[in-house]
Chains A and B, each alone.
Chain A
Amino acid sequence: MATLNKQAQKKIWAFFALGTFVGLLLMPLFLSLPVGASGGAPAPAASTAPPAAQPADAKPVEKSRDIWYKTEGPVIGAPAPKTTDGPKDYPRYNFESRVLLWVANQQHLYYGSFVLAVPIFCMVVEYLGIITKDKALARKYDQLAYDFVKISLTAYSLTAILGGILVFTYLTLYPTFFGYLASIFRPVMHTYALLFVAESGTLYIYYYGWDKMREGFLKWVHVSMSVILNVIGTVLMMLANSWIAFMQSPAGVDADGRYLGNIWHVIHTTLWNPINVHRILGNMAFGGGVVAAYAAYRFLTAKTDEERAHYDWMGYVAMFIGVCFLIPLPFAGYWLMREVYAYRQQMGITLMGGLLAWLFIIQAVMIGALFLTTNYYLWQGLERMRGAERYQKYIKYMVFVLITCFIVWLTPHTMVMTPAELKAMGGQQHPVLGNYGVMSAKNGAINTIITTTVLSFIMYQRGNKVPTVKWAPLGDAFLFGLFTMAYVNIIWLAVYGYYIPANVRVGLSVPQVATTLSCLFIGVTLNSIMMKGAKELGPTVWGQISVRSQYALIMLATAFTWMMGLMGYIRSSVRLFWHVNEIMRDNSPWAFTHTIGFAANMISFNVLFFWMTILFVFWLGSLGVKKAPAAASVGQKVPVPAGSH
């Protein structure tokens, strides 16, 4: 009892400390807000209680109307500059400035999102370590969290350096444009800088204080710090997002781009929140991928079985986190797309059916490939377990299902074709294959792929276990019924879609997705309950896994990175020839939209550049580690957390 009380007390103190911390750290933000908000406060009021007629005649303060929120506000900023091609607005080297900026931006983003994602895993894993009863396992979690933060620390300074390079690139190559953005976002940019200082401070205390704050109350303070770290990190990212969201869907300025004094409107543009959510999820998936690749690298270079076991486990956990966030990502993407359509239909069409549509085909192919790889990794994972041979025989059928669906999934609907090609095919759609190109078939295919992935995961969970709960046969029967009918339902809805009008058909995707999610949640939950206290046919031998599986992890990581580059490019290039959509035109020689091939080459370059540098970082890290902690991880004979998910 007494100990429990103490524990509770500790928690209360920890939360109190946490609150104070957050309060102090966010103070600059609150202090800066009223300054901006005071100008904007009357504006909403003006819209509900209509003001007198337009202040057309000369008045001391000129008023103008917000381009998005439609509120009126005092004109504070200068109009968006009209640039002309030349050294004044677009100074340059003998090279395409946009490409330089592209590289600087993408590298900063890769490192930035990695650095933002890893502390989130770190927080979760450290917390798991605290609440786990099993001492050895707890130590293992703690070590893992420490490993995570160690990787991110080197990357953190690189992020800052790359951020500096990015700002300099902007300042030197696009001075007028950057000046305009800076004039609008002045307080936000300063807040951003201050928060960055806070983030660095917290991160360093967090990392270097790890050993000092190992026990009891201090450990809770330590975990609380990881929460603060993530709060600051997320706010940082959201502030940075507000700039790109403003460029894509400006608000808070009038039609000439004059700032109207309400900083919140400028930050909170219509695409801001969808981008925030999409980016947080994307960062997590990406971070999982990078950590998995790190683990794969360490696994492949490992000298001892203990090391192999540790990094195999780490790779599995990281992959699991990555895929967990990959699954909701399409829904966040859907929201973003819907908001884009609501903002400007033309923009939506350019994305999905116009100039950039082919890039979405590439993306679709990549999503399919990611799921295939995930399945492959899980099947390879069965090798870790004695007793999992029972399931090997099902794999070939699953491969067949996955490949079939993958092919349907990547059948394009309509293509940009030359008249000759059009004639050869006898229409815009192929007489037979065209049937697989429509939404109905594609939705069916991708849902089947995800459901099969869930099935693979359930198979993996069961690998070496036989349920011992009394209702096991019933549970098995239920899982059988659930999955069978889920497949039937998904395919039925896909077929049904061909027979009903389009406006009803679009609605079918909702129950289809719900079917997949039902399998995911009901199936996995039920299976996990069944596997509680199950009889083990043999131990899970971490580290006993093929080298190929580690390449699957690397493939996942590379593909995540590539996809992130691709989607970033799509989001950015949909502005076409605008710096700030419909407000500030890009008059540089590089306002055109590159071909897909060029974009693919640039994305590849960025991906490879990132990976070469981060492999170098990993390699550096492994140099330092070689001596001491290797012994530490060898020393522990830990029970293997098979149910660690």
Chain B
Amino acid sequence: MANAKVLGGITALMIAGAIGAVLTILPDSGASQLMRKAFSLGWPGGLVIITLMLYFQFGRTKDPNRGQLVFKSIVGLLCYSMFFIAIANYATNFNDESFGAPGEPRFLPVSLIMITVSCFTMAMYFKGLRVLLQIGGFMFFVASCLAGFGNWLPQVKADPPPAEEKTADVRQMSVQERADLGEKIIFGAVGASGTQGAIGKGQCPLCHGFQKGFLSERAPNLFGVPKRAEDQMKDPRYSQKDPSKRDTVQKEACPGCGTASTPAEYIAESHACPNCYVVAGFGVKGTNDKESPMPAIHKPPIGLSIDELIAVDTWLFAREGSEPPTPDEIEAAYKKFIPESDRPKPAGAPGAAPAGPVPGAPVVTGDEPVNEIFTKALCFACHTIPGIPGAVGAVGPKLVEKTNAPQRLKDPAYKGKATSVREYIMESILTPSMYVVKPFPDNVMPKDFGKKLNAAAINKIIDYLSQLEEGKEPPKIK
């Protein structure tokens, strides 16, 4: 007995020494680091298993199953080691989100495979827990396939846009600073323009590609746009001489706004009135390029201020090495295409873009005559409204509501709550998606009229629209 104990002690020391030697001799590579980490994490349990093994070997000399027990402990120890190497691998690589080089190995799911293997190995030898181990192993296997798939796909990590900073006065900045600010607005960070998937407050890369050869399916790739603008303006469809000859749903950014004559103006017009000219192939599907899917950038949900737009446009020019227009020139270009009433307030409103204008400060006061409300709220841009000069839009339905509203309320597809013409109009203004007139698409009409118009203004609109009847003279405007 005493002999056995001594022998046991010596064996334990030898095993410990062997492990220690292996751990120290191993060359300093990834694998050895992994093993060291696994050892530092899992040594107490390993010690218990080794003690058990020694106990079986030397403490139970009379047990007929001794050999088997020892063998099982060795299997257990091996599986245990594998398990902790897997955990060490998970722990070391946990925060590895590198995605620089394509095809760079990402080894986290390997841990799951290792655990699968050790589960199934143990299941072979431990009868009592066989089913549990097999089920567990199978689950690890399924998870490893799914996680492997997820790691195999291209990896994109998206940083949040910089926290709302007070936009410093763009006019005081150097050209480079201005361009940097523009890049930040577009991509979220300075220098991010080369990364696919980088996106900033302006949300432009959601649809536009910006580098040569980048994916740009929903909207034109904007590489080289300042130079290309000259050619686009000569396009007969752009109809630079006479905007009323355009084939698009909206001919001009505002009545009398005219067309662009410089690249800066072209870009400003494209931002303020995407519908005015749609690059071939990028219109809303099915409209034959008569209508653009892009929202007007100065309005919600994007809602960039003119100062921000100055920065964005500066970047567009500067990054191609061309001399950007001065802030005043760009501002003048935007003022040409955005009517006074519609100009966004300078940045500083709470939240990033979509938070919208400050509550309690509607653009329309409600004291003006109804035709002016229609103009200021830009209803005319999309709707045809009898009796309102310039309101001949065709993006949305014609607003003869004394005729239309009762029919729509009867439509089985109508899901809203309105029961009268007045309520229907109110609902259509405040929640345009409640009922969408066929064949017009949903989500074109801004949903923020409730913010922009106060009750008095909405009331005036309702008063007017509810009197309009198909084929009858519109009422006099007071």
Contacts and interface: CB of A to CB of B under 8 A. Distances in A.
A341 interface: yes
A254 B134 CA distance: 55
A70 B455 CA distance: 11
Contacts of A341: 443
B159 A592 contact: yes
A503 interface: yes
Contact of B157 (A559, A592, A604): A592
Given A300-B131, A594-B157, A604-B112, A414 B215 contact: yes
Contacts of A601: 90, 94, 108-109, 147, 150-151
B163 A587 contact: yes
Given A255-B350, A604-B112, A615-B136, A595 B156 contact: yes
Interface stretch (A238-246, A308-316, A358-366, A396-404): A358-366
A469 to B, nearest CB: 39
B413 interface: no
B450 interface: yes
B212 A342 contact: no
Interface string B93-111: 0110101001000101100
A423 interface: yes
Given A254-B359, A346-B301, A361-B153, A595 B213 contact: no
Contacts of B433: 342
Interface stretch (B137-145, B224-232, B469-477): B137-145
Nearest to A607: B143
Contact of A416 (B138, B196, B430, B459): B196
A355 B199 contact: yes
A594 B150 CA distance: 12
A421 B196 CA distance: 13
Contacts of A615: 132, 135-136
Given A64-B360, A416-B154, A582-B355, A612 B136 contact: yes
B160 A592 contact: yes
Interface of A: 46-48, 50-51, 53-54, 56, 64-65, 70, 96, 254-256, 293, 296-297, 300-301, 341-342, 344-346, 349-350, 353-355, 358, 361-362, 365-366, 414-419, 421-423, 428, 501-504, 551, 554-555, 558-559, 562, 576-577, 582-583, 585-587, 591-601, 603-604, 607-608, 611-612, 615, 619
12 contacts: A70-B450, A358-B154, A419-B213, A423-B213, A577-B161, A585-B163, A594-B97, A595-B97, A600-B150, A601-B108, A604-B147, A607-B139
A595 B351 contact: no
B355 A354 contact: no
Contacts of A603: 146-147, 150
Contacts of A353: 206, 218
A357 B182 CA distance: 26
A597 B150 contact: yes
A431 B102 CA distance: 23
Interface string B143-178: 110110111011111111101100000000000000
Nearest to B295: A345
B455 A50 contact: yes
Contact of A608 (B97, B102, B143): B143
B288 to A, nearest CB: 9
B131 A586 contact: no
A107 to B, nearest CB: 15
Contacts of B97: 594-595, 597-598
Interface residues of B, number: 79
A128 B249 CA distance: 61
B325 interface: no
A344 B301 contact: yes
DSSP majority for the B interface? loop
Contacts of B329: none
Contacts of A504: 286
Nearest to B98: A595
B217 interface: yes
Nearest to A601: B108
B354 A582 contact: yes
Contact of A595 (B99, B144, B431, B451): B99
A569 to B, nearest CB: 11
Contact of B135 (A300, A416, A577): A300
Interface in B246-286: 285-286
Contacts of A362: 146, 149-150, 153
A585 B215 contact: no
A346 B443 CA distance: 11
B443 A428 contact: no
Nearest to A297: B135
A503 B290 CA distance: 14
Interface in B330-359: 350-352, 354-356, 358-359
A503 B287 CA distance: 9
Contact of B140 (A422, A597, A608): A608
Contacts of B360: 54, 56, 64-65
4 closest A-B pairs by CB: A600-B150, A70-B450, A503-B286, A577-B160
A597 B442 contact: no
A615 B135 CA distance: 9
A53 B366 contact: yes
Nearest to B441: A503
Contacts of B46: none
Nearest to B357: A255
B335 to A, nearest CB: 27
Given A255-B351, A342-B442, A608-B112, 12 more contacts: A54-B454, A254-B359, A300-B134, A345-B301, A355-B197, A502-B286, A504-B286, A554-B139, A582-B354, A600-B150, A603-B150, A607-B139
A301 B147 contact: no
Most chain A CB within a 10 A radius of its CB, from B142, B160, B215, B351: B142
A504 B97 CA distance: 42
Contact of B142 (A301, A419, A558, A612): A558
A300 B130 CA distance: 10
Contact of A503 (B153, B207, B285, B430): B285
Contacts of B94: 601
A508 B139 CA distance: 38
Contact of B206 (A350, A558, A599): A350
B286 A559 contact: no
B450 A358 contact: no
Contacts of B108: 597, 601
B211 A419 contact: yes
A466 B126 CA distance: 46
Contacts of B150: 362, 596-597, 599-601, 603
B203 interface: yes
A422 B114 CA distance: 35
A256 B430 CA distance: 20
A592 B102 CA distance: 21
B456 interface: yes
A400 to B, nearest CB: 22
B186 to A, nearest CB: 14
Interface string B378-422: 000000000000000000000000000000000000000000000
Nearest to B207: A349
Contacts of A354: 199, 206
A604 B146 contact: yes
A595 B157 contact: yes
B43 interface: no
Contacts of B455: 46-47, 50-51, 53
A559 B142 contact: yes
B70 interface: no
Contact of A558 (B139, B156, B212, B450): B139
A340 B422 CA distance: 28
Contact of A48 (B112, B196, B426, B456): B426
A68 to B, nearest CB: 9
A587 B164 CA distance: 10
A635 to B, nearest CB: 25
B155 A255 contact: no
A422 B209 CA distance: 13
Contacts of A594: 97, 157
